[in-house]
Structure 1
Amino acid sequence: MSETRIGTIELGRTGEQVSSLALGAMQMGHATAEPEAIRILDRYRELGGSFVDTADCYEWWQRPGSRGGESEELLGRWMRDRGNRDEIFLSTKGSALPVYDEALWAADGTPDWELARRTFAGAGADTLRHALDGSLRRLGTDHVDLYYVHVDDRSTPLEETLEALAGLVTAGKIRYLGWSNVRTWRLERIRQLCDRYGWPAPVALQQQHSYLRRRAGATTASIVDDEQLDYLTEHRDLSLVAYSPIVKGIYDDPARRAEHWMMESYAGPDADARLNVVTGLAAELGVTPNQLVLAWLLHQSTPPVLPLIGPRTPEQFENLVPAIGLKLSVEHLAALDAAGA
């Protein structure tokens, strides 16, 4: 019996068909050593996947003195060795690499995220132009298929950012644009400016999105909320690319849920209720809760969701493969959707 292959989905309203399950390379080059990263990449390709995601800042925080770029360099070597650049829908990001400062790392190597967030490179015109050129050099290519503003930069006029990005599209260095970690009102302002000046508008929105819903009172702009889901349902020219779709694998492991920092954005009665339902249905279907959540995301249509997985090991990747072919009934989907406090 052959394995189910990864399908495709249209990117916004571009006519471009991309893999319905994207592969994130964030950990490749540090947390995931190169031989294991290559195994994951090759296996993803074997299953029909071609949408690979990285960023210029990955993973500066792993090593004192790092300026990021290790993931891009690894992907560049892989594409060169495999001769497959033309088969890969390649996305990367700029704006989130912090200004270099020895204080970014404590004596024990721990990164100072508060300092990093205060000193992100941002989305100024020159900053983005230089960041993209660096990414292209490391990736060994003359263009990327999708380029995101990684963190929304409110200190730079949107007109400056959008005009610079339009120039990079015209120059052939970028095919499509995206935005990440951004609020809905900012998205609408971006789209209005693009319409006014004839600039290319974003076709992808990369946000944190999973089966759990962010808790009441959480202020992060990175997690999709009800308003953003409604906006995306009405604006199908903008695809939702969902990062951390299984929230670092917490659905399978109560102990991991109890200790993982990402749960701070979700914890509460609503999360407890949804975890109970997803755990029970997974047992009934003979799958893991992580697999069920990923399958649920792949079934979404209002709006469609394109999950972006980031396995650290080949084993973690294989543990998610069954989700690709898992078919959920109308009753299963209704039970999952109805759960919550």
Structure 2
Amino acid sequence: MSETRIGTIELGRTGEQVSSVALGAMQMGNATGEAESVRILNRYRDLGGSFLDTADCYEWWTKPGSRGGESEELLGRWMRANGNRDEIFLATKGSAMPEYSPDLWNADGTANWDLARRTFAGAGADTLRRALDGSLRRLGTDHVDLYYVHVDDRVTPLEETCEALAGLVTAGKVRYLGWSNVRTWRLERIRQLCDRYGWLAPVAVQQQHSYLRRRAGLSTASIVDDEQLDYLAEHRDLSLVAYSPIVKGVYDDPARRAEHWMMESYAGPDADARIEAVTGLATELGVTPNQLVLSWLMHQSEPPVLPLIGPRTPEQFENLVPALGIKLDAGQLARLDEAGA
């Protein structure tokens, strides 16, 4: 029996068909070494995938003194070795590299995230131009297919950022634009500015999104909420690219759910009820909860969801492959959708 291959989905309303599951390269070149990264990339390509996602800042936080770029450099080497740049839909991001300081790392070598978030490079015009040029150099290409503002910059005037991004498109260095970790009202303001001045508007928004819903009272620009889902369902020229779609694999592992810091954003009665629902249905279908959640995301239509997976090992990648073949009927989808507290 042949494996189910990765399908395609339209990027916004561009007419561009991209892989229905994107592969995140954040850990490649650091937690995931060169050989394992290449195995994952080759396997993803073998299954028909071509949408790769990285960022200039990946992963500065892994070792003191790093300025990131390891992921982009690895992807550049892989594309050169395979001569396949023209077959890849390549996305990268800028604005989230913090200003260098030895204080970015604590005495034990871990990252000082409080300082990092206060010193992000931001989305000023000159900053973005320099960041993109650095990304292109590391990736070994003259353009990227999709360029995101990685962390929404509330200090730099949006007019400056949008005009600079439009200039990168005009220069042929970027084909499409996106925004990440951004609130809905900011998306609307961005779209209005682009419409007013004739600048290319974003066609993708990359947000944290999974089957679990953020806990009540949490204020964050990164996790999709009901308002953002409603906005994206109405504005289909924006694709939702969902990062952390399986929340670091917590659906399969109660111990991991109990200890992982990411659960702070979800923990509560609603999450408990959703976990129970997905675990029960997964058992009935003979699949893992992680696989079922990934399939559920791919079944969404209001709005459509493009999951961005980021396996650390080839084994983690293989554990997700069966999700491509899971078919959920209307009753099963309703059962999952209606679960919650």
Query: What's the CA shift string for 1:79-123, capped at 9, x where partnerless?
Result: 000000000000000000000000001122110000000000000
The one-letter amino acid of 2:73's match is E
3-state SS of paired residue (1:178): strand
Structure 1: how far apart are the matches of 2:280 and 2:166? 49
Structure 2: how far apart are the matches of 1:326 and 1:43? 19
TM-score (norm 1): 1.00
1:168-317 matches, cutoff 5 A: 168-317=168-317
1:39 is matched with 39
Structure 2: how far apart are the matches of 1:184 and 1:338? 24
Structure 1: how far apart are the matches of 2:31 and 2:219? 29
The one-letter amino acid of 1:270's match is D
Q: Does 1:142 align with 2:142?
A: yes
The one-letter amino acid of 1:68's match is G
1:95 is matched with 95
Query: What's the CA shift string for 1:36-59, capped at 9, x where partnerless?
Result: 000000000000000000000000
3-state SS of paired residue (2:49): coil
Structure 2: how far apart are the matches of 1:194 and 1:256? 43
Task: State the number of aligned residues.
Answer: 341
Structure 2: how far apart are the matches of 1:307 and 1:325? 15
Q: Does 1:69 align with 2:69?
A: yes
Structure 2: how far apart are the matches of 1:106 and 1:204? 35
Q: Does 1:86 align with 2:49?
A: no
Structure 2: how far apart are the matches of 1:221 and 1:214? 11
CA RMSD of aligned residues (A): 0.3
Q: Which shifted more, 98-107 or 131-140?
A: 98-107
Where does the alignment leave 5 or more consecutive residues of structure 2 unmatched?
none
The one-letter amino acid of 1:293's match is V
CA displacement at 1:220 relative to structure 2 = 1.0
The one-letter amino acid of 2:71's match is S
2:156 is matched with 156
1:330 is matched with 330
Structure 2: how far apart are the matches of 1:86 and 1:325? 28
The one-letter amino acid of 2:11's match is L
Structure 2: how far apart are the matches of 1:14 and 1:5? 23
Give the share of equivalent positions with the same residue, in percent.
86
The one-letter amino acid of 1:143's match is H
3-state SS of paired residue (2:114): helix
Structure 2: how far apart are the matches of 1:106 and 1:329? 50
1:26 is matched with 26
3-state SS of paired residue (2:236): coil
TM-score (norm 2): 1.00
CA displacement at 1:325 relative to structure 2 = 1.0
Query: What's the CA shift string for 1:224-282, capped at 9, x where partnerless?
Result: 00000000000000000000000000000000000001000000000000000000000
Q: Which shifted more, 103-112 or 185-194?
A: 103-112
Structure 1: how far apart are the matches of 2:76 and 2:106? 31
1:131 is matched with 131
3-state SS of paired residue (1:241): strand
Query: What's the CA shift string for 1:141-194, capped at 9, x where partnerless?
Result: 000000000000010000000000000000000000000000000000000000
Structure 2: how far apart are the matches of 1:61 and 1:127? 20
Q: Does 1:60 align with 2:60?
A: yes
Structure 2: how far apart are the matches of 1:325 and 1:239? 22
Query: What's the CA shift string for 1:259-309, capped at 9, x where partnerless?
Result: 001000000000000000000000000000000000000000000000000
